[in-house]
Amino acid sequence: MPAPLLHLTRLMLRDFRSWPALTVPFQARIVAISGENGAGKTNLLEAISLLGPGRGLRGARAAELSRRQGEALLPWAAAGRFESPWGSFDLGTGTPESGRPERRSFRLDGAPLRTQAELAERVAAVWLTPQMDRLFQDGAGDRRRFLDRLVWALEPHHAREVASYENAMAQRNRLLVQARREGRGADSSWLAGLEDAMARHGVALSAARRGLVARLNATLKGGVTGGFPAARLGLACPVAAALDGAPALAVEDGLRADWAANRGRDAAAGATLSGPHRADLLMTHVPKEIPAALCSTGEQKALLVAVVLAHAALIEAHRGFAPLLLLDEVAAHLDERRRETLFAALAALPAQSFLTGTDPAVFRPLRGLAEGFRAAGGELVPDTDLPVPEAR
């Protein structure tokens, strides 16, 4: 069995959510963590997700991650040691011993990181959580954020495009609303500058979303998802559709003209009503040719698993390492046959996977492939039923 291209070999936590202190080594490509509800399993996956760019699998603010001592928020830290194609390195994140608890910093091999883009060059993580079971019933914003995380893992600079677009849009909205409230016209040159930034970054992020959807669909057609139902993705976005028939500069010009013409409408609404921030990710169950929203809960979970597996294979092919896969209670809506299919797919992927579940028996088929741990009482102890696999 080939060694993983990106391997978290040690995790250290301090005053992170329910974990006062933890140092644990990981030796296998598949790590199975079992424990009762409330034992801190999801907190462990969240800590790992925070070693990559972004706000992690819960999208929490830095101050929300601290363990409490009475009314006080304790400074927290999460650190990991990685083996990778470019050698071993240490990554750490957390809040400072003295300072604002909402301020989070990063360090690479002990040196401060200036931007999360630098972090994204080293680590990528993709996850499935029980909350994502509602992805097809919730609003377009949740699906759009899911898509952006997939893009970000493949193109580290995508996050900067999204943040720059949203920042310019927020300034435009404030300017329009303030001018309307005060009964005056907004500064047209300032608005034009903001709309220019929105157009440039908006077209760039739309192109990246469009490109990922196309590449994922090609990968899904390649059959990397084993026994999971084939999914087909779509992007409901006028900007992405415009890029099908026009060069990027022409699409930018169209966006600038549209926003300039609709300043009054947007001022009345208090929001920008058109643009790539209103895009939606579509997904179809190919064998049945029905939208994912009309599928059963189990079928929806299977479609998401298929997309995540295809995404991992795509990143490995394009970036030289696969992302860490964080699968929280992933077996909850999978029948026994699909669980076996999932385990076989994880064993075949050149990626390190972390799985959690309340029932340790679910992971027994992984004996010889995975190492197991049990979470209880603020401790993580080896599961003797899932010893570290022998080297092959």
**Which residues fall in the annotated binding site?**
35-42
What distance in Å separates the CA atoms of residue 368 and residue 334, rounded to the nearest whole number?
22
**Euclidean distance between CA atoms 255 and 328, whole angstroms:** 40
Residue pointed to by tokens 């899932």? 386
Q: Hey, what are 131's tokens?
A: 């909350």
Residue with tokens 């199975």, as numbered in its chain? 32
What is each CA distance from 37 to 57, 341, 379, in whole angstroms?
A: 18, 25, 14
Burial classification of residue 228, based on how many CB atoms lie within 10 Å of its CB (0-12 exposed, 13-18 middle, 19 or more buried) = buried
How far is Cα 93 from Cα 113, in angstroms, rounded to an integer? Answer: 10
Q: How far apart are CA 237 and CA 335, in angstroms?
A: 35
Q: Which residues are annotated as a binding site for ATP?
A: 35-42
Tokens for 348, please give them. Answer: 């075949």
The secondary structure element, H or E, covering residue 283 is strand 280-285
Residue 263, helix vs strand vs coil:
helix
Which pair of tokens denotes residue 186?
Answer: 């907004």
* Token pair in block for residue 38: 């409330």
d(CA 247, CA 223): 33
Q: Which residues contact 267 (CB under 8 A, 6 or more apart)?
A: 176, 177, 179, 180, 186
Q: What is the DSSP letter of 279?
A: -
